[in-house]
Amino acid sequence: MHATAASVRAQILAILRAWGMPAALAEETAALMAETDLMGVDSHGISMLMGYEELLRKGQLRITGQPRLARDFGATGLVDGNDGLGHPAAALAMRMATQKARLHGVGAVGVVNSHHFGAAGVYARMAAAAGMVGLVFSSARGVILVPPRGAAPVLGTNPIAFAAPIEGEPPMVLDMATTTVAANKVKVYHLKEKDIPEGWVVDGAGNPVTEHAAAMDLVFKRPEGGITPLGGTEESGGHKGYGLALMVQVLAATLTGGSFSPVRNRSAAADAPNNIGHMMLALDPRAFRDLAGYQHDMAELVAELRGTPPSTPGEPVLIPGDPEEAEMAQRRAAGIPLPASLVGHVRAIAERAGVAFLLEPA
């Protein structure tokens, strides 16, 4: 099914409101989730409703939680997500970071007591839309990353996002997990009943696993094995991805008061919130140089990259963010592709929530 973006947003909104999420928070969350699907990040949009419903069922997610400012200290601040979904808290934190950057040149706002916030890139794009360079870091609930020389996972996918504004065109946007692939990408392959590429998932002995159902078990259910760090094996640079994941853990969680999942999972009650931490940073180019100079050099940088001779004719060199922009244009016209299994899950979630099934073909 190729669903219209408007119907995806409406379906998410209806379900969130039925669950009890306050109207303003649900509107913002639904918009951010639908934007994520439009960009082609299928693992972090409407497909997350299954996971959010499970958090509600366990009592871990306080869907009515209102984000609030807990600390305000010059160029820095801290938002308390009050155990709600991470989207409204993260958006508030980035808005605050950009406001602080206008005053101080830099703004850094952390988030504590949060849950999953979708795709990190949407918040980095918020900074770029305000004319700022944005950086986003987040810890994660899942314990998924198997470190080099390890047999069991110790860290989450711990994403990083970066965005830089470009005069007259969409921003440069890097949005990446510090694992070889985001855990929800494995879920997407499983929903499509498609085996995963070799190198994404390993078992407890370090052997690659490609069968989609076995990979799902290793990533989401079994204590051994999991996803490799960015770079894969130690010989191919996996220690770098592991180091980046640790850096994100410190910046997003240790610094803000967020949890470290392996420790949390040993002692937390079944209904304890996830306490995921985020960090939002905004840099105003005008704090470092004339804006015109920054814009000139960014345009020159991008032109040089895109002008690189391609190794394959017809496949030009791209900059981060180009694939998402192309996907958004295509999906606005043709709709958001949703596998039949996901449509079935959404229909069942809507039925359990007592709302209409609203997805419409494009």
Kindly state whether residues 137 and 245 are assigned to the same domain.
yes
Domain boundary among 306, 331, 346: 306
Kindly state whether residues 243 and 361 are assigned to the same domain.
no
Distance CA 83, CA 52 (A): 12
Kindly state whether residues 158 and 19 are assigned to the same domain.
no
Kindly state whether residues 123 and 150 are assigned to the same domain.
yes
Q: How many CB atoms lie within 10 A of CB 319?
A: 18
Inform me whether the pLDDT recorded for 267 exceeds 90. Answer: no
Kindly state whether residues 282 and 150 are assigned to the same domain.
yes
Give the CATH number for residue 82.
3.30.1370.60
Kindly state whether residues 6 and 137 are assigned to the same domain.
no
Percent above pLDDT 70 for the chain = 100
Inform me whether the pLDDT recorded for 295 exceeds 90. Answer: yes
Query: CA torsion, points 342, 347, 348, 354, in degrees to nearest 10?
Result: 150
Residue 152 tokens read as 């069991």
Q: Which amino acid is located at 349 in the chain?
A: I
Q: How many CB atoms lie within 10 A of CB 330?
A: 14
Kindly state whether residues 115 and 260 are assigned to the same domain.
yes
What band does 233 get if pLDDT is binned at 50, 70 and 90? confident
Count of domains in the chain?
Answer: 2
Inform me whether the pLDDT recorded for 111 exceeds 90. Answer: yes
Kindly state whether residues 246 and 339 are assigned to the same domain.
no
Distance CA 203, CA 217 (A): 10
Can you give the residue range of the structural domain that contains 42? 1-58+322-362
Sign of CA dihedral 248, 249, 254, 256: positive
Q: Residue 144, CB half-sphere, CA atoms under 13 Å: how many?
A: 30
Contacts of 52 (CB under 8 A, 6+ apart): 61, 85, 116
Kindly state whether residues 360 and 243 are assigned to the same domain.
no
Mean residue pLDDT across the chain:
96
Comparing 181 with 329, the larger pLDDT belongs to 329
pLDDT in tens, 34-62: 999 999 999 899 999 999 999 999 999 99
Residue 79 tokens read as 């938002």
Residue 157 counted as domain residue: yes
Kindly state whether residues 89 and 159 are assigned to the same domain.
yes
Distance CA 283, CA 220 (A): 37
What is the model's pLDDT at position 325? 97
Average pLDDT over residues 189-216: 92
Contacts of 110 (CB under 8 A, 6+ apart): 76, 77, 78, 79, 93, 252, 255, 256, 277, 278, 279, 280
Inform me whether the pLDDT recorded for 191 exceeds 90. Answer: no
